[in-house]
């Protein structure tokens, strides 16, 4: 009997490495990266810097570690960091910004994840003996909690102008930066050229098992390399991680368009289902978030009903559900999932009658 197939929409981090990645790992040339002697890591870092149009790059263990190192590299303890109120750094990184980096996060709200330059300007505290020094502005592109929304190069440019006026650095959490570039149909450098430094993840929709890259000036990367060591992120034969990263940068980016098409198909399908509310203007890349208040049950229960049908999703809030498309989710999976959600909605509406 064929094994039952589970369709996993929880995150684009659940992807498994491709055969080509496994082959690349098998044949990777290795050395001790703490001594700077792993040729595969060195190749990946060079490639990442070139792709992003910056001087240098550094392989780190995770997106969270990349963000923490950048916060520390770009600031001094006690300084103020402006970030979007729903940003990953503020919500999901265990408060490392305060606990480890010793910084004061200053959240600024936005409807779609792109900070308004006027709001940023208003949040920058004037020179005053009572206030911390404003040092850094952080952006997130695409924006996870807002549902994979995109910040355009023009929007980043406008924030960059504010940062420059106030002598602040501009950092981009670009965990899914290639999703933004593919959806906008621009070279990724169009997005990176207005920020001082950034990170992107290999382990999200690019299918690598582990790893993120920090990218910026030689000086920023030199400082970050030392901070990575202090945080316990100095790795030895890290070519094992870097080898699939090279495959990802060379081959896995163009296919993101397929994930975006599937997300749109899913969103448009569930938009027609009774009891579900979804704002299609938020569905810009591979993340689909929707409100299930109209079904009369909490998101946790909705998710367990989906699980009974071998479909996995995540709760975003009491009435909000998130589904993410990635390599491994095909059009047929999307169609099957729309039908499953429709049947849950029908059952619940029958119960209500």
Ligand X SMILES: Cc1ncc(COP(=O)(O)O)c(C=O)c1O
Interface residues with ligand X (CB under 6 A)? 62-64, 67, 88, 140, 144, 173, 175, 201, 203, 212
Q: How far is the CB of 67 from ligand X (least distance, A)?
A: 6
Q: How far is the CB of 95 from ligand X (least distance, A)?
A: 14
What is the 3-class SS of 203-219, one letter each residue?
A: CCCCCCCCCEEEEECHH
CB nearer ligand X, residue 286 or residue 345: 286
Please tell me what DSSP assigns to residue 287.
E
**Which among 71, 148, 84 is positioned nearest to 119, based on CA atoms?**
84
CB nearer ligand X, residue 90 or residue 220: 90
Only one residue has tokens 């102008």, namely 161
CA 25/CA 238 separation, integer angstroms: 10
CB nearer ligand X, residue 75 or residue 142: 142
CB nearer ligand X, residue 140 or residue 190: 140
Report the alpha-carbon angle 146-321-288, nearest 5.
Answer: 55
CB nearer ligand X, residue 90 or residue 345: 90
Q: How far is the CB of 172 from ligand X (least distance, A)?
A: 10
CA 285/CA 181 separation, integer angstroms: 10
Q: How far is the CB of 143 from ligand X (least distance, A)?
A: 7
Q: How far is the CB of 100 from ligand X (least distance, A)?
A: 14
CB nearer ligand X, residue 45 or residue 173: 173
Q: How far is the CB of 178 from ligand X (least distance, A)?
A: 13
Residue nearest to ligand X (CB): 63
Q: How far is the CB of 198 from ligand X (least distance, A)?
A: 11
CB nearer ligand X, residue 89 or residue 246: 89
Structure tokens at 2: 């064929």
CB-CB contact of 302 with 317 (8 Å): no
> Inter-axis angle of helices 63-74 and 218-230, to 10 degrees?
120
Sign of the four-CA dihedral 105, 107, 113, 118: negative
The contacts found for 343-346 with CB under 8 angstroms, 24 or more apart, are 343/309, 344/295, 344/302, 344/305, 344/306, 344/309, 345/273, 345/274, 345/275, 345/276, 345/295, 346/274
């Amino acid at each position: 009997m064929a094994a039952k197939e589970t369709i996993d929409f929880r995150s684009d981090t659940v992807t498994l490495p491709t055969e080509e990645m496994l082959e690349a790992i098998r044949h990777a040339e290795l050395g001790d990266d703490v001594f700077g002697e792993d040729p595969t890591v060195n190749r990946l870092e060079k490639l990442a810097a070139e792709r992003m149009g910056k001087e240098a790059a550094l392989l780190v263990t995770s997106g969270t570690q990349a963000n923490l190192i950048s916060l520390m590299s770009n600031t001094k303890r006690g300084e103020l960091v402006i970030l979007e109120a729903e940003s990953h750094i503020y919500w999901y990184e265990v408060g490392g910004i305060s606990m480890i980096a010793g910084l004061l996060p200053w959240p600024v709200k936005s409807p779609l994840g792109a900070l308004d330059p006027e709001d940023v300007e208003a949040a920058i505290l004037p020179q005053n003996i009572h206030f911390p020094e404003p040092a850094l502005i952080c952006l997130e592109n695409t924006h996870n909690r807002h549902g994979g929304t995109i910040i355009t190069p023009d929007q980043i440019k406008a924030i960059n102008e504010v940062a420059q006026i106030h002598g602040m650095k501009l950092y981009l959490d670009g965990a899914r930066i290639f999703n933004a570039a593919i959806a906008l149909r621009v070279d990724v450098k169009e997005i990176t050229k207005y920020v001082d430094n950034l990170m992107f993840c290999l382990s999200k929709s690019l299918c690598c098992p582990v790893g993120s890259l920090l990218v910026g000036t030689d000086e920023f990367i030199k400082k970050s390399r030392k901070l990575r060591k202090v945080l316990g992120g100095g790795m030895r034969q890290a070519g094992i991680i870097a080898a699939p990263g090279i495959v990802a940068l060379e081959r896995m980016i163009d296919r993101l368009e397929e994930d975006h098409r599937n997300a749109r198909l899913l969103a448009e399908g569930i938009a027609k289902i009774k009891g579900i509310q979804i704002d299609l203007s938020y569905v810009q890349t591979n993340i689909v978030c929707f409100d299930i208040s109209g079904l009369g049950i909490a998101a946790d229960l909705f998710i367990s009903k989906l699980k009974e049908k071998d479909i996995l999703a995540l709760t975003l809030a009491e009435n909000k559900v998130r589904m993410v498309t990635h390599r491994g989710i095909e059009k047929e999976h999307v169609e099957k999932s729309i039908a499953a959600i429709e049947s849950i909605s029908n059952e619940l509406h029958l119960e209500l009658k």
